[in-house]
Protein backbone atom coordinates (compact mmCIF):
# COMPACT_ATOMS: atom_id res chain seq x y z
CA UNK A 1 0.00 0.00 0.00
CA UNK A 2 2.91 2.35 0.63
CA UNK A 3 4.14 1.71 -2.91
CA UNK A 4 0.75 3.02 -4.05
CA UNK A 5 1.28 6.13 -1.85
CA UNK A 6 -1.35 5.22 0.77
CA UNK A 7 -0.74 6.84 4.12
CA UNK A 8 -0.09 5.12 7.44
CA UNK A 9 -3.52 5.84 8.85
CA UNK A 10 -5.34 4.19 5.95
CA UNK A 11 -2.94 1.23 5.99
CA UNK A 12 -3.47 0.73 9.72
CA UNK A 13 -7.23 0.91 9.25
CA UNK A 14 -7.17 -1.61 6.42
CA UNK A 15 -5.28 -4.18 8.50
CA UNK A 16 -7.28 -3.45 11.65
CA UNK A 17 -4.66 -1.90 13.94
CA UNK A 18 -4.12 1.52 15.43
CA UNK A 19 -1.72 3.77 13.51
CA UNK A 20 0.64 3.93 16.50
CA UNK A 21 0.80 0.12 16.54
CA UNK A 22 1.76 0.08 12.86
CA UNK A 23 4.43 2.76 13.37
CA UNK A 24 5.91 0.94 16.37
CA UNK A 25 5.95 -2.39 14.54
CA UNK A 26 7.79 -0.87 11.57
CA UNK A 27 10.36 0.56 14.01
CA UNK A 28 10.81 -2.87 15.64
CA UNK A 29 11.02 -4.93 12.44
CA UNK A 30 12.91 -2.57 10.13
CA UNK A 31 14.86 -0.44 12.62
CA UNK A 32 13.68 2.85 11.14
CA UNK A 33 10.85 5.30 11.56
CA UNK A 34 7.64 4.74 9.67
CA UNK A 35 8.32 7.95 7.70
CA UNK A 36 11.72 6.69 6.52
CA UNK A 37 10.31 3.27 5.65
CA UNK A 38 7.34 4.83 3.85
CA UNK A 39 9.65 7.03 1.77
CA UNK A 40 11.63 3.99 0.61
CA UNK A 41 8.49 2.09 -0.33
CA UNK A 42 6.92 5.09 -2.10
CA UNK A 43 10.10 5.46 -4.16
CA UNK A 44 9.91 1.78 -5.07
CA UNK A 45 6.34 2.35 -6.26
CA UNK A 46 7.36 5.35 -8.36
CA UNK A 47 10.22 3.38 -9.89
CA UNK A 48 7.93 0.45 -10.72
CA UNK A 49 5.40 2.79 -12.32
CA UNK A 50 8.10 4.54 -14.34
CA UNK A 51 9.45 1.18 -15.53
CA UNK A 52 5.97 -0.01 -16.53
CA UNK A 53 5.34 3.20 -18.47
CA UNK A 54 8.64 2.75 -20.26
CA UNK A 55 7.82 -0.87 -21.10
CA UNK A 56 4.41 0.14 -22.48
CA UNK A 57 6.04 2.85 -24.58
CA UNK A 58 8.65 0.43 -25.91
CA UNK A 59 5.87 -1.98 -26.90
CA UNK A 60 4.67 0.71 -29.28
CA UNK A 61 2.05 2.67 -27.36
CA UNK A 62 2.28 5.97 -29.23
CA UNK A 63 0.52 7.97 -26.52
CA UNK A 64 2.99 6.78 -23.90
CA UNK A 65 5.94 7.43 -26.24
CA UNK A 66 4.77 11.01 -26.76
CA UNK A 67 4.11 11.57 -23.07
CA UNK A 68 7.50 10.21 -21.98
CA UNK A 69 9.20 12.23 -24.71
CA UNK A 70 7.64 15.38 -23.29
CA UNK A 71 8.44 14.45 -19.68
CA UNK A 72 12.00 13.17 -20.04
CA UNK A 73 13.28 14.65 -23.28
CA UNK A 74 11.70 18.11 -23.17
CA UNK A 75 9.91 17.51 -26.44
CA UNK A 76 6.97 19.76 -27.25
CA UNK A 77 4.38 20.11 -29.91
CA UNK A 78 4.76 23.11 -32.15
CA UNK A 79 1.86 25.45 -31.82
CA UNK A 80 1.53 28.10 -34.47
CA UNK A 81 -0.72 31.01 -33.78
CA UNK A 82 -1.96 33.84 -35.88
CA UNK A 83 -2.99 37.13 -34.42
CA UNK A 84 -5.94 38.89 -35.97
CA UNK A 85 -6.19 42.56 -35.21
CA UNK A 86 -9.26 44.66 -35.78
CA UNK A 87 -8.93 47.15 -38.59
CA UNK A 88 -7.77 50.50 -37.27
CA UNK A 89 -8.09 53.63 -39.28
CA UNK A 90 -4.75 55.25 -38.63
CA UNK A 91 -6.03 58.58 -39.80
CA UNK A 92 -8.13 58.86 -36.63
CA UNK A 93 -5.05 58.63 -34.41
CA UNK A 94 -2.59 61.35 -33.69
CA UNK A 95 0.30 61.32 -36.20
CA UNK A 96 2.93 60.03 -33.74
CA UNK A 97 0.75 57.09 -32.65
CA UNK A 98 -0.12 56.25 -36.26
CA UNK A 99 3.57 56.20 -37.20
CA UNK A 100 4.43 53.94 -34.25
CA UNK A 101 1.70 51.49 -35.26
CA UNK A 102 2.85 51.50 -38.91
CA UNK A 103 6.45 50.78 -37.85
CA UNK A 104 5.36 47.98 -35.52
CA UNK A 105 3.21 46.35 -38.21
CA UNK A 106 6.06 46.58 -40.73
CA UNK A 107 8.43 44.99 -38.23
CA UNK A 108 5.96 42.15 -37.58
CA UNK A 109 5.65 41.57 -41.33
CA UNK A 110 9.44 41.50 -41.68
CA UNK A 111 9.74 38.96 -38.84
CA UNK A 112 7.30 36.60 -40.53
Number of domains in the chain: 1
Is 0.85 surpassed by the pTM of this model? Answer: no
Cβ 64 vs Cβ 52: under 8 Å? no
pLDDT tens per residue across span 81-100: 776 766 766 666 677 777 88
Average pLDDT in the chain: 88
In-domain check, residue 21: yes
Can you tell me the mean pLDDT for 26-31? 97
In-domain check, residue 50: yes
* pLDDT value of position 86: 67
In-domain check, residue 105: no
**Domain residues for 49?**
8-73
What dihedral angle (degrees, nearest 10) is formed by the CA atoms of 29, 34, 37, 38? Answer: 140
In-domain check, residue 96: no
In-domain check, residue 102: no
In-domain check, residue 107: no
In-domain check, residue 62: yes
In-domain check, residue 84: no
Region of poorest pLDDT, from 20-24, 34-38, 92-96: 92-96
**Residues 34, 37, 40, CA angle at the centre, nearest 5°?**
150
* pLDDT value of position 82: 72
Can you tell me the mean pLDDT for 99-107? 82
Amino acid sequence: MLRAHCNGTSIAESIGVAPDTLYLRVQQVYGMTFSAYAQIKKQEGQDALRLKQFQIAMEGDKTMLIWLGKQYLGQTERVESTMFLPEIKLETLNPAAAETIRETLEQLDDDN
